[in-house]
Amino acid sequence: MTPSRSADVSAVRIDTADLRAWCGDRPLQLMPRTFAVLRHLVEHAGRLITKEELLGRVWRDAIVSDAALTTCIHDLRKALGDSSDAPRYIQTVHRRGFRFIGPVAGIATMPAAPSNAPAGTSPGGAAHAGAVGVVAREPPAGATSPIRIAADASSATPRLRWDPDGSLAPSTLVGRDAELARLHELLGAALDGRRQLVFVTGEPGIGKTALVEAFLARIGSTERLRIARGQCVEHFGAGETYLPLLEALGRLGRAPRGDEVVRVLKQHAPTWLVQLSSLLDDQDLEAAQRRAQSATRERMLRELVDGLEALTAESPLVLVLEDLHWSDVSTIDLLAMLARRREPSRLLVVGTYRAADVAATRHPLKSAKEELALHARCEEIALEFLTEPAVSEYLSRRLAQDQWPAELPGALHRRTDGNPLFLVNTVDDLIARGQLRQVDGHWTLAVPLEELETTAPETLWQIVQEQIERLTPDEQAMLEIASVAGAEFSAAIATADGIDLQETERRCDTLARRGQFLRAIGVSEWPDGTVAGRYAFIHSLYQSVLYDRIPVGHRAGLHLRTGERLEKGYGQRAAEIAGELAMHFSQGRDVARAVRYHQQAGRSALRQHGYREAADHLTRALDFLTTLPPSQQRTRQELMLHEPTLHAMLGGAYAALTGQAGREVERACARALELCHQVDDPPLVFPILPALGWFYVVRGSQDVARDVGERLVAMAEATRDPAIFLAAHHTLGVAAFYSGEFEAALGHLERGAKLYDAQAHSPTRSPAFRPNVDPGMSCRLHGAWTLWVLGYPARAAEWLQAAIELASSIDHPFSLAHAHRFAAAFHQSRSERDRSQEQAERGAALAADHGFVGIVVSANFHRGWIMAEQGREEEGLACMRAWITACQRIRSESLLPGYRAWLAETYGRIGRAREGLDLVDEALAAAADSGNHYWTADLHRVRGALAESEKEAEPSLVEAIAVARQQRAKSFELRGATSLARLWARQGRAREAHALLAEVYAWFTEGFDTPDLTDARALLEQIT
């Protein structure tokens, strides 16, 4: 429709050519997109304009959420002096859109500005803190107009160019031209297919978000470019796994062209769709849930990396993740994987964080960023304080050009050190106190400069405190409740403290319009149908100051009531916000609900393979349980919590090779074992015992592992459950193997292998075996080594091959990588160098792809063994020692004897026998202490081989044969006999040597082409 012309002094007039607008004679200070929204509304005054129409017209194909439109409407109302409760210009049509109902003076192409229009903006308030100094109207140096993405007619690839018509946001930050220009350069590189990861860092209030907002303002209105944003949230304890990434993906999926995003995720990252259930129908969700059941953490990471790269093949993607100093560990792991990939991708990731906080809390982001920077896989833009000229530039925009005291910039710079947030709030405070006031169009100081410098608050904290004190008691109370709810909150949360929802929204809207403390970010709708405005604190500092003001007892009550309101609002879907509820009920001292929601949050994190976050939630639940009086119910509840806790701890340890036998894990395992002895309930106890058995096997505590196995036997005989029989035989078999009881081990491992059913017992199918390697594969691997030790090398090779084939047939990468690592050690024990190297390389490649650090390091041991044989002695020894050091660090005693023996032999070959002897003595002493005797016989043989004299060598070789005979370890006996026969032959005792070796050699019935038997046969022929 054609807007009606009005002579009303409050009528709106716009100039579409010069991008200016007035309300009466008052110029409206609007950002370009806000102007575009106003223009479209005015051009269609009186007609309902849907949200979709506005988003399509103003944002075109850019990916933004409804919150962007809500913010523009809020800014328009603020500029017009309008109210959502009693609108005079913009009417909201609930859930549909907006209608312009105000008077329109006209739409001109080149109107003259009113003679009394001020040259600058009016004093703003705290809203300036979000974009302090968005004042310079030029693009970065060398450019004449803003940046935009466009497609060349000859290419489907978007290109970076400066917008010639100036229709996009022409603003930069005060003192941030170089940083903004660098972001544009990185975007250009990303558009050329060179993925970029950049961190914007600095202390609170330095303007990290402001820089990112200004950058996005320039590119957000462009076509064929997706923008996704995620926000990390501060937590009292455990965070939520992948929280900012899930938020970003959810926004992409709900934005225009969201169906394309869902399609790409279905194809490349289906396991992630389970966490984004609102984007799927019931049928697709069920399919995603089935597929996610077999997913590993590494697969999830790899899927999302593939999915994001696939998205960039269709459209470039800018992914913004804010406040990474509060991020969960899994998000950092994904960023690192994303940055390490070298395939072309039109992706720019921008992350913000406080460097000091990351260093102080030892956040994993610090080491990840340092490692990426070392390999030139990321870049840092570290923001500094504003200079005095930048402060002057800010004042020139805030207070109308140069109409303010000349000495003011220097005074403000000295007071604030150039911290942008401190600067903005200091100016606000001066105006609020009347110490800086406007007289006849000029800003003047009402007090001497010296007095100003001595009386003004010395810290930003003090200023915020005084700003809060100037609010009404009702506004203070509402903001305190909001600070408990979080950095972002629904107005409905205030009803938890008995405040009416409409009154809460009115107060929030009032503060947001004034630019104080809050900004409107859209609408929230809870599962119970509650619809309310959604708001965010302009800066986290405001939330922190408000939160810390609340007395401790009252704060706990607010957390409790907030948790209860959220729980009611989400009803049956409360598990979706389990982490948030766990925090509120923990702080609110509601033990029962704190335990419940920490447990739910922990299990949710486990489903996403966020092991550290899961362990944090679950151990907190266990800690809360200990505050309850002892009872059978508490014991059972604690036992139920230990199963997922051990899963989280052991799963994370396998992935990272850190802490598998650390103190926290050891305490948890010891407590779980104690509880298992207190409860006679197989369905409750069984899921815990296999993990405990495996832990103590790796730890080298075979007696404890054997006790676990015997408990499983008793339970299996009582229940006749094949899974429990399998767990029992597997636990007893591997414990017997590492104890050097090889015949007993083989009996258990054979029975376990026969009981195994991949459809029922693989880690992807059975919760009881989930934290471990596949039990059927493990039975075959240990069975293969046992058969070789007992003197059946051909059967051993068959079992090894069956184990690798089984591992390849199930969807469990860790089991397959473990099988290759085990096979490398198996072949090395048989002196089969080429086969050992082949298996080590396969295991290392798979482990590197999935992030199994431990298996990569163990593969390097075998590489080092070969390097040393090839003359690269120091390099090879370093690789071998690194694996032994890693095993010692995590106290994986059962793995050490064989590796120490191989390293000792390597020392001997390169002329450093003394070091080898020391290592053997260390290994024999450790075996005597722990009972891990599976390599004891061969350690004595190696000691004899390294001895400085034949006199010293003979007793060790005789002992090697004696131990081997006691263990019925025919392969070790053959090795010892071969070494002793060779020694006796050199001493002229050929007849004794031949008799000794011939008797052992004659026992064998297979494997005559293996290195040990070939060597023995050659020596027999030599001394005949």
> Hey, how many other C-beta atoms are within 10 angstroms of the C-beta on 573?
12
- State which residues form the domain around 316: 137-170+176-382
Q: Terminus-to-terminus CA distance in the chain, angstroms?
A: 113
The CATH number assigned to the domain holding 67 equals 1.10.10.10
Tell whether the torsion through CA atoms of 902, 908, 909 and 912 is positive or negative: positive
User: In the predicted model, is pLDDT for residue 139 greater than 50?
Assistant: no
Q: Say whether both 266 and 182 belong to one domain.
A: yes
Q: Which of 564, 605, 556, 569 is nearest to 581 (CA)?
A: 564
Give how many domains the chain has, as a whole number.
3
Residue 60 is predicted with a pLDDT of 60
User: In the predicted model, is pLDDT for residue 705 greater than 90?
Assistant: yes
Q: Does residue 410 lie in a domain region?
A: yes
Residue 280 pLDDT class (50, 70, 90 cuts): low
The last residue of a domain, from among 382, 409, 426: 382
Torsion angles phi and psi, residue 146, rounded to 5: -65, 165
CA distances from 930 to 460, 697, 699, 894 (A): 60, 11, 9, 9
Q: Does residue 944 lie in a domain region?
A: no
Q: Does residue 835 lie in a domain region?
A: no
pTM (2 d.p.): 0.65
Are the CB atoms for 832 and 1011 separated by under 8 Å?
Answer: yes
User: In the predicted model, is pLDDT for residue 865 greater than 60?
Assistant: yes
Are the CB atoms for 624 and 595 separated by under 8 Å?
Answer: yes
Q: pLDDT tens, 1-49?
A: 444 444 566 889 887 766 778 888 888 877 777 888 898 898 888 888 8
Q: Say whether both 224 and 243 belong to one domain.
A: yes
| Alpha helices for 112-207 (secondary structure H) | 177-191
Highest mean pLDDT among 24-28, 142-146, 228-232, 905-909: 905-909
Q: Say whether both 375 and 392 belong to one domain.
A: no
Q: Does residue 937 lie in a domain region?
A: no
Q: Does residue 41 lie in a domain region?
A: yes
Residue 661 is predicted with a pLDDT of 43
Residue 296 is predicted with a pLDDT of 62
Average pLDDT over residues 739-768: 91
Q: pLDDT tens, 881-896?
A: 988 888 887 777 888 8
Q: Say whether both 200 and 62 belong to one domain.
A: no
Are the CB atoms for 411 and 230 separated by under 8 Å?
Answer: no
The CATH number assigned to the domain holding 145 equals 3.40.50.300
Distance of alpha carbon 72 from alpha carbon 159, whole angstroms: 28
Q: Does residue 888 lie in a domain region?
A: no
Q: Say whether both 149 and 287 belong to one domain.
A: yes
User: In the predicted model, is pLDDT for residue 322 greater than 70?
Assistant: yes
User: In the predicted model, is pLDDT for residue 62 greater than 80?
Assistant: no
Bigger pLDDT: 332 vs 890: 332
Bigger pLDDT: 373 vs 291: 373
Are the CB atoms for 746 and 787 separated by under 8 Å?
Answer: yes
> Percent of the chain having pLDDT more than 90?
34
Tokens 């209030």, residue?
205
Residue 371 is predicted with a pLDDT of 87
Q: Say whether both 292 and 419 belong to one domain.
A: no
Residue 783 is predicted with a pLDDT of 98
For residue 211, give both structure tokens: 């820089």
Segment holding 107, helix H or strand E: strand 104-108
User: In the predicted model, is pLDDT for residue 611 greater than 60?
Assistant: yes
Residue 282 pLDDT class (50, 70, 90 cuts): low
User: In the predicted model, is pLDDT for residue 334 greater than 50?
Assistant: yes
Q: Does residue 258 lie in a domain region?
A: yes
Average pLDDT over residues 975-1003: 96
Q: pLDDT tens, 956-981?
A: 999 999 999 999 999 999 999 999 99
For residue 227, give both structure tokens: 């923008």
Q: Does residue 149 lie in a domain region?
A: yes
Are the CB atoms for 636 and 679 separated by under 8 Å?
Answer: yes
Residue 651 is predicted with a pLDDT of 55
Q: Say whether both 194 and 276 belong to one domain.
A: yes
> Per this entry, what is the length of the chain?
1024
Bigger pLDDT: 491 vs 643: 491
Tell whether the torsion through CA atoms of 670, 671, 675 and 681 is positive or negative: negative
For residue 178, give both structure tokens: 């170089």
SS3 sequence of 692-750: HHHHHHHHCCHHHHHHHHHHHHHHHHHHCCHHHHHHHHHHHHHHHHHHCCHHHHHHHHH
Q: Say whether both 100 and 142 belong to one domain.
A: no
Q: Say whether both 377 and 324 belong to one domain.
A: yes
Q: pLDDT tens, 288-310?
A: 666 655 556 667 788 888 889 98
User: In the predicted model, is pLDDT for residue 159 greater than 90?
Assistant: no
The last residue of a domain, from among 401, 430, 465: 465
Lowest mean pLDDT among 85-99, 260-274, 447-461, 912-926: 447-461
User: In the predicted model, is pLDDT for residue 853 greater than 80?
Assistant: no
Q: pLDDT tens, 708-741?
A: 999 999 999 999 999 999 999 999 999 999 999 9
Average pLDDT over residues 433-452: 79
Torsion angles phi and psi, residue 21, rounded to 5: -145, 150
Q: Say whether both 182 and 328 belong to one domain.
A: yes
Q: pLDDT tens, 509-567?
A: 888 888 788 988 888 889 988 888 889 888 877 888 899 899 999 999 999 999 999 99
Q: Say whether both 92 and 202 belong to one domain.
A: no
Residue 1017 pLDDT class (50, 70, 90 cuts): very high
Residue 108 is predicted with a pLDDT of 62
Average pLDDT over residues 673-681: 80
Residue 65 is predicted with a pLDDT of 53
User: In the predicted model, is pLDDT for residue 100 greater than 60?
Assistant: yes
Torsion angles phi and psi, residue 315, rounded to 5: -150, 145
* Average pLDDT, rounded, for the chain: 82
The last residue of a domain, from among 382, 405, 431: 382
Residue 286 is predicted with a pLDDT of 67
What is the identity of the amino acid at 216? Answer: L
User: In the predicted model, is pLDDT for residue 625 greater than 50?
Assistant: yes
Q: pLDDT tens, 812-850?
A: 888 898 899 999 999 999 989 889 989 999 998 887 776
Residue 812 is predicted with a pLDDT of 81
Q: Which of 657, 738, 725 is nearest to 694 (CA)?
A: 738
Residue 499 is predicted with a pLDDT of 83
Q: pLDDT tens, 929-943?
A: 888 999 999 999 999
Q: Say whether both 84 and 108 belong to one domain.
A: yes
> Percent of the chain having pLDDT more than 70?
85
Are the CB atoms for 322 and 230 separated by under 8 Å?
Answer: yes
